[in-house]
């Protein structure tokens, strides 16, 4: 019997209960359709997988396919083999214009444009998006209507006015709004105002060499946030990245509004049903004073190792297409709330009546497509992106908890983020990214 071609696939385990189970089943289904292949799937914690791939490459045994978190995209581009060659090759170039691989239809041209663009550099789709999220506004419409507000806020000013109405509500919640102090929401705030986090078009037209965490857009966001906090509208838990605490505050009706990831859609709607209050899911509010500049995505993508033999490469590419086939991508969306990856998967869901029954699942896709192509909406490519997140969140905590001046504190944060970026580039001048800071994501 002819031996099977083994394709090692390392996937980023996002640590939700049972997250890897359907992915492993898809690998088994692919094997049944292609018995000449064995898809060897391993789940690695999403925060550690990039460093584990790096060490495997140093040993000369990297996986054929590796899934990186979006904020590790530049580290993936910079990754090297132990011989000093690029570890990964372009997915688009490897597909080489084929319409199918091993009988699996190629879906690259059908990827939703904002998702495709995030992982495209110099017109080349370097990796295959698999998971996509954005940030949304969740509203307790029962409390909002009780406060005399009939429409969910669309802008910062409208949200602030709604917070004031909630504050006047007899026996109302102690605060009106909350969100986690996390870097993704800073990214959203900057992008929605048309701003950039780094030079060279956020690292899209060249290697990003300088960051700007003290921009007009950053300070507008920080000052508005501070004002909401000082006026008692914003609930500050005192912790950074407090996703659970802010969710619990919304679920127990301690606040009316919450900014959070689109992945929270199902749980938040269920919290409303359990708590007996209405929930509306809508786009993230934007700054009234500047044109809306679009929203960014988060998520993961699959990277293809360079130098594979043809059989292994074709198996890897075919499996990527299989994961994102219309039926599989649609089922993945249903089970996870992630944005449907391809237009065909979205159309399949719509044809089944899924969005008619679950309209809140449509909002994330509508939002990221709403200003497609705006410079800020492409998102930044940064080395040690997690370090930039840390600099921003620590600065904001000082503003909220210790009364720091936003301009001075974010100027300091910018210096810290610049040191981190410089250190990353110093590593890349040697044998590629190698320090733990190079692989940190969040």
* Mean pLDDT of the region 52-71: 96
Overall average pLDDT of the 317-323 stretch: 98
Q: Is the pTM of this model over 0.85?
A: yes
Query: How does the average pLDDT of the chain come out, rounded?
Result: 96
Percent of the chain past pLDDT 90, that is, above it, reads 93
Confidence of residue 29 (pLDDT cuts 50, 70, 90): very high
Query: 35 falls in which pLDDT band (50, 70, 90)?
Result: very high
pLDDT at 165 over 70: yes
Strand partners, 198: 211
State the pairing for strand pair 65-69/88-89: unpaired
CB 246 within 8 A of CB 235: yes
Q: Give the range among 99-108, 265-274, 428-437 with minimum mean pLDDT.
A: 428-437
Per the CB < 8 A criterion, the answer to whether 375 and 196 are in contact is yes
Q: Please state, as a whole number, how many other Cβ atoms lie within 10 Å of the Cβ of residue 226.
A: 18
Average pLDDT over residues 319-332: 98
Of 112, 126, 21, 120, the residue nearest 324 (C-alpha): 112
Asked if pLDDT for residue 376 goes beyond 90, the answer is no
What are the beta bridge partners of residue 304?
65, 89
End-to-end CA distance of the chain: give it in Å, rounded: 46
Right CATH for 5-133+298-374 from 3.30.565.10, 3.40.190.10, 3.30.1360.120, 3.40.309.10? 3.40.190.10
Tokens matching residue 231: 């006026």
Please say if the pLDDT value at position 1 is more than 60: no
State residue 244 phi and psi, 5-degree precision. Answer: -70, -45
* pLDDT, average across residues 247-255: 98
Instruction: Name beta bridge partners: 41.
Output: 9
Q: What is the pLDDT of residue 243?
A: 97
Question: How far is Cα of residue 201 from the mean position of the Cα atoms in its chain?
Answer: 19
How confident is the model at residue 435, as a pLDDT?
77
Read off the pLDDT of each residue in 127-140 and give the average, rounded to a whole number: 98
Q: What is the mean pLDDT of residues 332-360?
A: 97
Is the pLDDT assigned to residue 439 strictly greater than 70?
A: yes
- Provide mean pLDDT across the span 63-68: 98
Is residue 370 predicted with pLDDT exceeding 90?
no
Can you tell me the mean pLDDT for 102-131? 96
Q: Determine the topology of domain 135-295+378-439 in CATH.
A: D-Maltodextrin-Binding Protein; domain 2 (3.40.190)
Q: What is the pLDDT of residue 264?
A: 97
Domain boundaries, the chain: 5-133+298-374, 135-295+378-439
Q: What is the dihedral of CA 394, 397, 403, 406, to 10 degrees?
A: 60
Cβ neighbours around 154 below 10 Å, total = 16
- On the question of pLDDT at 418 being above 70, the answer is yes
Do 5-133+298-374 and 135-295+378-439 fold alike per CATH?
Answer: yes
Residue-level pLDDT at 372: 67
């Amino acid at each position: 019997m002819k031996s099977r071609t083994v394709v090692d696939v390392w996937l980023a385990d996002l640590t939700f209960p049972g997250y890897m189970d359907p992915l492993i089943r898809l690998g088994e289904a692919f094997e049944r359709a292609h018995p000449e292949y064995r898809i060897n799937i391993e789940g690695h914690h999403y925060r550690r997988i990039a460093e584990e791939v790096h060490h495997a490459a140093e040993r000369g045994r990297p996986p054929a396919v590796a899934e990186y978190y979006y904020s590790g995209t530049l580290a993936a581009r910079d990754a090297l083999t132990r011989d000093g060659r690029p570890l990964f090759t372009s997915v688009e170039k490897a597909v080489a214009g084929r319409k199918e691989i091993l009988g699996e239809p190629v879906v690259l041209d059908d990827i939703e444009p904002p998702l495709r663009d995030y992982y495209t550099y110099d017109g080349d789709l370097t990796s295959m998006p698999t998971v996509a999220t954005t940030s949304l506004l969740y509203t307790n419409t029962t409390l909002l209507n009780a406060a005399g507000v009939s429409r969910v806020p669309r802008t910062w000013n409208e949200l602030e006015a709604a917070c004031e109405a909630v504050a006047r509500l007899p026996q109302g919640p102690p605060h009106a709004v909350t969100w986690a102090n996390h870097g993704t929401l800073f990214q959203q705030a900057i992008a929605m105002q048309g701003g950039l986090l780094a030079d060279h078009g956020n690292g899209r037209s060249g290697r990003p060499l300088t960051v700007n965490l003290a921009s007009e857009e950053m300070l507008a966001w920080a000052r508005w946030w501070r004002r909401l906090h000082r006026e008692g509208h914003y609930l500050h838990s005192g912790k950074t990245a407090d996703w659970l605490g802010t969710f619990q505050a919304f679920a127990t009706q301690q606040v009316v509004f919450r900014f959070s990831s689109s992945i929270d859609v199902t749980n938040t709607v269920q919290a409303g049903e359990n708590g007996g209050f209405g929930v509306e899911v809508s786009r993230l509010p934007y700054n009234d004073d500047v044109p809306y500049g679009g929203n960014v995505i988060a998520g993961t993508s699959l990277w293809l190792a360079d130098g594979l033999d043809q059989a292994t490469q074709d198996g890897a590419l075919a499996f990527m297409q299989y994961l994102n086939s219309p039926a599989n991508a649609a089922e993945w969306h249903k089970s996870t709330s992630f944005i449907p990856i391809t237009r065909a998967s979205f159309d399949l869901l719509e044809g089944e009546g899924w969005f008619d029954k679950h309209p809140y699942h449509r909002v994330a896709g509508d939002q990221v497509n709403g200003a497609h192509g705006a410079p800020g909406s492409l998102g930044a490519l940064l080395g040690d992106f997690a370090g930039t997140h840390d600099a921003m969140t620590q600065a904001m905590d000082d503003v909220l908890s210790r009364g720091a001046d936003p301009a001075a504190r974010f100027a300091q944060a910018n210096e810290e983020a610049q040191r981190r970026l410089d250190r990353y580039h110093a590593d890349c001048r040697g044998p590629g990214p190698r320090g733990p800071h190079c692989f940190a994501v969040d």
